[in-house]
Structure 1
């Protein structure tokens, strides 16, 4: 097609044509010229980036450690052998950013949030290892001691992202929110109803449809609406909803949340028995799966008390579980088990202190968002 003919096509048709190409080739086309760079970054990349249905699930990000050397490294357990190059590229790119593997706090739709725990005030970074990009976040001088933070990013809605830093509750929940749209931090106090002991949190959080979800050890889920424009203004009291977890008195632990097929899911288990609920539009828990792990899982793990939940598959009715040297895929509908990833005898998965994150590639260029606005 001649350039003159291409230039007169409507943008919607251009996007449809370009998005039929493999994502690797599409990313290379951004080198053609500046206009193509911004057009592909802002209009095409979200089409094949998570949580778009067209996004390809690459595998699970995890931390491994060699007991002999004590060294830790970040790895990707690929979903298929064809993603082996993705695993190698991801490892190289994160290493190139010169961060420790333990610096990773969160992963949201292909972007990573990192923090330098030794710096005071805390220095945060947002990285996209797919395209080897790392953005240094402006420091907030009030961020003295390190606190956990979450990343909120959905390229199907906006190319901007937010960082949500959780502070101590005394007596309210304090949030500092950084917006890439404004380039500033905003401080908020959130009154929780009912007031309960949320001083201890599960480390993982979930961002879905503009809402950030996080579990407390008290077995409640806190829902923070980030779609409202008020979050970019400081000293504004935001509202958060607290939802009691299902059958919370029957389980010793608070369980885990995650997303699959655009839905928020909650999982809890009592040894070999597992239950999964879906959080519906009316803010109610609906039991989706109730099953027992097949005996082959016990054979592989040796002890159900050692079995840990890792993640939900983003596109299938499957979950990832395992022990320190083994990852297992469990098909909830077929009640079948597949061995997903096995480590060498001299390596272990750091699943107690650090979490395991589903990963899909993201083609959005963060710098282009800033320069094109």
Structure 2
């Protein structure tokens, strides 16, 4: 067999990104670990967070379901929570967030507006049909703006692959989690945080006293921190910045002031912050003339943005859709070129979720109708269900000290008799 010297081997001339795309197709992490012995360059690539995120993204994309829940349907409660306490029946139900195979649900309090979360939160696993009710969240002061809730987990032992953004390839059975409820009050952004170790809520942590003109509940968990947009002054000038907050280190100040002014300060711009393909993205729609839809990726180092895709308002979209009636939804978790948008039309048969493949739209490709809505302007949530190698177990009462406050008849429900599942009332891709 003829051996090619390493210095003249064609593989040594490959760009890092192309080499990563080859190596992520190895069958499992052990094979990737063995490849570290090839050379120092491979050690550096395979040990990076970027490689780990791409490895998991590639392998999980083959069986990862995307769930689109129409939040106006009260029947969704039964699919997530097979046995609800009597005092919660009839309250407004929300799917707040998801993290791997866990889902955070919330309920409004009596007298609240439909877009306001209340004090009742439940963490559930729709795959194991287990759920746990958290103690009641602190009461909000009158005059606060509608809130948004996020669920984040952190394993207590080193995972098989550290993805660098709080996600792991395989979870330990022991972990910490936080439920973070963010809201505005008199010009400042505040949050209530539930800590799994203490079983208590930390009330009204003031993130920043300033103008949060753009914060309206859009945030993403990336690189171990919650990212949100804020309009404030930084480094001597005003603008719109993405800032990060570590929910496990609330004593740390806001960090990563990433300038997003050129993207988000535009006439009639709607946007969303999304994690796709292991990187933070901005999905923005600029209305008016000229209108456009753009997808921006935050580069490594969190210092600059790169435009990945753009769709002009006058692009040849088949079906005679009106561009100004599209609203930003989500990106596919592994394919940022696939965009899910809301289309709001007074004619009910036209309203719903539509998907675009931006890599093919230049040729006037058809858009795909994903799911319709029954009434007016819909409220919907995409639940990204990344199933780990072993289902995440819902923590029991004795494992979280005295977290139980006696307001519910059961701490953990596990109803094997029910035949309802999360897939019964959601739209799956």
State the TM-score, normalized to the length of structure 2: 0.57
Match of 1:134 among 131, 136, 152: 131
Q: 1:30: which partner in 2?
A: none
CA contact (8 A) 1:328 1:339 kept: yes
Match of 2:354 among 328, 333, 337: 328
Counterpart-to-counterpart distance in 1, 2:273 and 2:302: 18
Q: 2:80: which partner in 1?
A: 93
Q: 1:31: which partner in 2?
A: none
Q: 2:195: which partner in 1?
A: 179
Show CA shifts across 1:135-170 (max 9, x none): 111224455667432222345177432111224345
Counterpart-to-counterpart distance in 1, 2:212 and 2:392: 35
Show CA shifts across 1:335-360 (max 9, x none): 2444142438xx24753xx3432422
Match of 2:293 among 260, 271, 274: 274
Match of 2:307 among 262, 287, 297: 287
Say if 2:329 is the partner of 1:313.
no
Match of 2:281 among 238, 261, 265: 265
Match of 1:105 among 96, 112, 116: 96
Show CA shifts across 1:15-37 (max 9, x none): 989xxxxxxxxxxxxxxxxxxxx
Task: Give the superposition deviation at 1:312.
Answer: 0.2
Task: Pick closer, same or farther for the CA change 1:189–1:16 going to 2, 3 Å.
Answer: closer
Task: Pick closer, same or farther for the CA change 1:175–1:322 going to 2, 3 Å.
Answer: closer
Task: Pick closer, same or farther for the CA change 1:261–1:250 going to 2, 3 Å.
Answer: same
Q: 1:37: which partner in 2?
A: none
- Computed over aligned residues only, the root mean square deviation of the Cα atoms, in angstroms, reads 3.9
The number of equivalent residue pairs is 296
Q: 2:392: which partner in 1?
A: 364
Task: Give the superposition deviation at 1:174.
Answer: 2.5
Q: Secondary structure at the match of 2:60?
A: coil
Q: 2:108: which partner in 1?
A: 117
Task: Pick closer, same or farther for the CA change 1:334–1:125 going to 2, 3 Å.
Answer: same
Show CA shifts across 1:298-323 (max 9, x none): 6253x211112221001112111242
Task: Pick closer, same or farther for the CA change 1:252–1:58 going to 2, 3 Å.
Answer: same
CA contact (8 A) 2:246 2:252 kept: no
Q: Secondary structure at the match of 1:57?
A: coil
Counterpart-to-counterpart distance in 1, 2:380 and 2:257: 23
Per mean C-alpha deviation after superposition, the further-off stretch among 263-272 and 239-248 is 239-248
Counterpart-to-counterpart distance in 2, 1:267 and 1:311: 8
Q: 2:68: which partner in 1?
A: 61
Counterpart-to-counterpart distance in 1, 2:315 and 2:297: 26
Task: Pick closer, same or farther for the CA change 1:190–1:340 going to 2, 3 Å.
Answer: same
Q: 2:243: which partner in 1?
A: 223
Structure 1 alignment gaps of length 5 or more = 1-14, 18-46, 66-70, 75-89
CA contact (8 A) 2:193 2:203 kept: yes
CA contact (8 A) 2:188 2:210 kept: no
* Greater Cα radius of gyration, structure 1 or 2: 2
Task: Give the superposition deviation at 1:371.
Answer: 4.2
State the TM-score, normalized to the length of structure 1: 0.65
Q: Secondary structure at the match of 2:93?
A: helix
Task: Pick closer, same or farther for the CA change 1:245–1:222 going to 2, 3 Å.
Answer: closer
Show CA shifts across 1:262-319 (max 9, x none): 1110021234521211112233222222233685636253x21111222100111211
Counterpart-to-counterpart distance in 1, 2:398 and 2:244: 26
Task: Pick closer, same or farther for the CA change 1:331–1:212 going to 2, 3 Å.
Answer: same
Q: 1:160: which partner in 2?
A: 176
Task: Pick closer, same or farther for the CA change 1:122–1:342 going to 2, 3 Å.
Answer: closer
Task: Pick closer, same or farther for the CA change 1:109–1:173 going to 2, 3 Å.
Answer: same
Match of 1:299 among 298, 308, 319: 319
CA contact (8 A) 2:296 2:307 kept: yes
Q: 2:149: which partner in 1?
A: 149
Task: Pick closer, same or farther for the CA change 1:111–1:99 going to 2, 3 Å.
Answer: farther
Q: 2:418: which partner in 1?
A: none
